[in-house]
Structure 1
Amino acid sequence: MRTRIMFVITGLNLGGAESQLLLLVRALQRLGWEVAVVSMIEPKYFVQDFAEMGVEVITLKMLPGKSDPRALWRFAKLVRSWRPDIVHSHMVHANIFVRVARLFFPTIPIVSTAHSINELEGSYARLLAYRLTRHLSHYTSSVSASSYQHYVSLRMISPRKGGFVPNGVDLERFDCDADARAALRVALGIEDQFVWLAVGRLVPAKDFSNLIKAVALLRDQGLSRMRVLLAGDGPEKADLLKQCEQAGLGPIIQFLGPRHDIPDLMNAADAVVLSSAWEGMPMVILEAMAARRTVVATHVGGVGELFPADDVDKLARPKDPVALAERMAYTMRLSAEEHEQAGQRGRAFVERSFDIRKVARDWDALYHRLANSASTREAAVQAGLHTGSEEARD
């Protein structure tokens, strides 16, 4: 009989948590897991990707920012019907939701994963709810060591029942192809410019305003033989377009909208830039390293964990376009050999620690341990016994 896991996520947008879930589902299927995916709000992306893997995305049809007690009952019925061995939630709203819903299915182990160090910022009520419900998770994780320590300091994660499990990358998707690179650059109208790629939702966390200001500084310094490809969509799009127009950067910054060909875009680019104000463990940096691309980034969240100690000081301060422009200018002046060496180091680093197959095996081991512990607890309860452990009392 196959083991079953039900993933629950706040929503399916074009973000790092969502793309990570897609990769994890695919890898776990290869390990023999049967998977269900539940989106609290109506999904916008990835539904077809999951369907191609034989996974239906079930939506609870909740409205963003609106509580709906009826959704708890609908979800509980779904869990009882599908009977997963593990329920694993992703993102803070889903984590709180599943923890409360666990009251309806107390014998099924649940895992909670937060993806950003700032997911709880700005709302004391949400932070309090996360803290008060943490004991309802059998395991609570974050995607970087720094965010894990942050959550521990806020008493959001108990070290006895949590840890950090990093994001993973599908390395096969990011192999370089010289012919494909040349063809896409022609299609994008790129000549001999230095091409930067920036990827992410157009939201405050990614701080693309910081990038626009840095590019304007580079232009003013005479480094105008460049193109910036910005792949993504979001609520700040109109404002960012206006900023580009006012700065006269229309010929340099190209808004590509939502894209599903990020590996191809990285293949076509010369370097990748991340201008974020806050992060967890940014997938775009791991993907850029897998694609052997030089990376410039702000020093936020778990970013520093992805670079050698000697290079961490070279990361740009967040919300500092002057610092970001300096790092971009330095990178643009590197020789082809230096870019190649940096790319090879990044690829080797990702292969060692962030291969999605390894990450999935780590989750697989944890899931089985939790499921086996749950079976032991249930048998003990039926026999009128108890284990006395904190996990058993939860």
Structure 2
Amino acid sequence: MAVTKNRPAQPPLVVHLIYRLDFGGLETLLVDCINHMPPERYRHAVVCLTDYTAFADKITRPGVELYALHKQPGLGLGIHVKLFKLLRRLRPAILHTYNFACAEYAVPAWAAGVPVRIHAEHGRDAGDPHGLNRKHNFLRRSLVPWIDRYVPVSHDLAGWLKEVVGIPAAKLELIMNGVDTVRYAPHLPAASMPWADGVETPGAARPFVIGTVGRLQDVKDQATLIEAFALLCAGRGAARGDLRLAIVGDGPLRERLARKAQDAGVADLVWFPGARNDIPQLMRSLDVFALSSIAEGTPVTLLEAMACGRPVVATAVGGIPEVVQDGVNGALAPARDPQALADALARYVDDPARLAAHGAAARERIERHYSVAAMVGAYTALYGQLCNSKTTFKEITQPCAES
């Protein structure tokens, strides 16, 4: 058997385990981390429990391999075996899992000899918006021996993991989400808004555009936003035609939300363009960004909108109040309260000076506290710290023998 000597060691491999690589905020963060992390520090691979979509094309870093395990609904115990075998073959230094559906796979990663296991919590779902499900929290807690670090993306999530779930403080590492402030900047071109059914009349004044971006699912509660928009339009007479609502994204509730807009009498003013690849341009086409979620970590789309200089009207849930300063760069409203949301939106519709001032303040806050550079730097530092603390790390990064 011949052994090739003096072959340069490759950077350590990070395997990112995600439920599905599709259009969404968490997925955008994952792609941004891969694209912006120094290539000499780490290599990357993405493993999807289910599958991936064309969103994977946003990974511009060369050499990133994608794997789909095609997990079916249910326990899927065979997936543990498939992942174990894949990890034994890839020999990563780090497994980085995302959200509750992927947490349990830290165990087969440990069995496969992966030295570092990191689990990130980016938010909670509609079925358990406050994170009080005892069974789920017991599982999170029982995984502590196999997970080196839990990464919450907001102070709210960090407090919940420590106080409610019971994760030891020594295993928590707060890393705030970040956004690319170069791509998401106010001065760049905006997208045209081809409203359905010829709503816009040639030569007419530009309408006031309220918009949201996100997967159309229960936790985002776009139904409340549609109700709020209908309330905003009510009583404005002919002036209602100066308002528009753009609901960008796709998901299981799309048809139901379209029917809700129809039933509320505002279907002619609401646009459902589906999933889009031109989110920065669309953000710059909005006047106000709205988010009606019932649970959140630190929403990426909110950061993107603020980076584009747009004030935000959002529900005061999860990590949102950490980013949106009520009366400074946006407005906060209680969850599932369409009237409060409508009132907050009206203050921007009726006050152009407020709109401009809060938009500028939004951009400034992102530049100071939520840049992609800061986020990637924090993950790079965490990877290095944990790898250096593991005695098996050197084995993972050494060149393999060749026959």
Q: Same fold (TM over 0.5)?
A: yes
Distance 1:50 1:306 in 2: 27
Distance 1:254 1:240 in 2: 11
| C-alpha deviation, 1:216, in angstroms | 0.9
Deviation per residue, 1:42-87 (Å, 9 max, x gap) = 2234222237643221011111x32222221221222222121211
Distance 2:114 2:286 in 1: 49
Give the match for residue 108 of structure 1.
115
2:218 is equivalent to residue 193 of structure 1: no
CA contact (8 A) 1:228 1:253 kept: yes
| C-alpha deviation, 1:16, in angstroms | 1.3
Give the match for residue 399 of structure 2.
none
CA contact (8 A) 2:45 2:65 kept: yes
Amino acid at match of 1:42: D
Distance 2:193 2:30 in 1: 30
| C-alpha deviation, 1:252, in angstroms | 1.0
CA contact (8 A) 1:292 1:346 kept: yes
| C-alpha deviation, 1:159, in angstroms | 0.7
CA contact (8 A) 1:50 1:57 kept: no
Where do 5+ consecutive residues of structure 1 fail to align?
A: 380-394
Give the match for residue 297 of structure 2.
280
- Count of residues in Structure 1 that have an aligned counterpart in Structure 2: 374
Aligned counterpart in structure 1 of residue 98 of structure 2, from 87, 90, 104: 90
CA contact (8 A) 1:297 1:316 kept: yes
- Relative to structure 1, the CA distance from residue 233 to residue 187 in structure 2 (aligned partners, 3 Å threshold; closer, same or farther) is closer
Give the match for residue 146 of structure 1.
156
Give the match for residue 391 of structure 1.
none
Aligned counterpart in structure 1 of residue 137 of structure 2, from 107, 116, 127: 127
| C-alpha deviation, 1:319, in angstroms | 0.3
Amino acid at match of 2:87: V
Give the match for residue 61 of structure 1.
70
SS in structure 1 opposite 2:120? strand
Distance 2:266 2:65 in 1: 42
Where do 1:1-394 residues align within 5 Å? Answer: 1=9, 2-30=11-39, 32-50=41-59, 53-63=62-72, 65-97=73-105, 99-106=106-113, 108-118=115-125, 121=128, 124-177=134-187, 180-181=189-190, 184-185=192-193, 190=200, 191-222=205-236, 224=240, 225-308=242-325, 311=328, 314-335=331-352, 337-375=353-391
Amino acid at match of 1:300: V
CA contact (8 A) 1:26 1:53 kept: no
- TM-score computed with the length of structure 1 as normaliser: 0.88
- Relative to structure 1, the CA distance from residue 291 to residue 51 in structure 2 (aligned partners, 3 Å threshold; closer, same or farther) is closer
Where do 5+ consecutive residues of structure 2 fail to align?
A: 1-8, 396-403
- Relative to structure 1, the CA distance from residue 31 to residue 175 in structure 2 (aligned partners, 3 Å threshold; closer, same or farther) is farther
- Relative to structure 1, the CA distance from residue 16 to residue 106 in structure 2 (aligned partners, 3 Å threshold; closer, same or farther) is same
- Relative to structure 1, the CA distance from residue 51 to residue 29 in structure 2 (aligned partners, 3 Å threshold; closer, same or farther) is same
Give the match for residue 383 of structure 1.
none
More helix by share: 1
CA contact (8 A) 2:95 2:114 kept: no
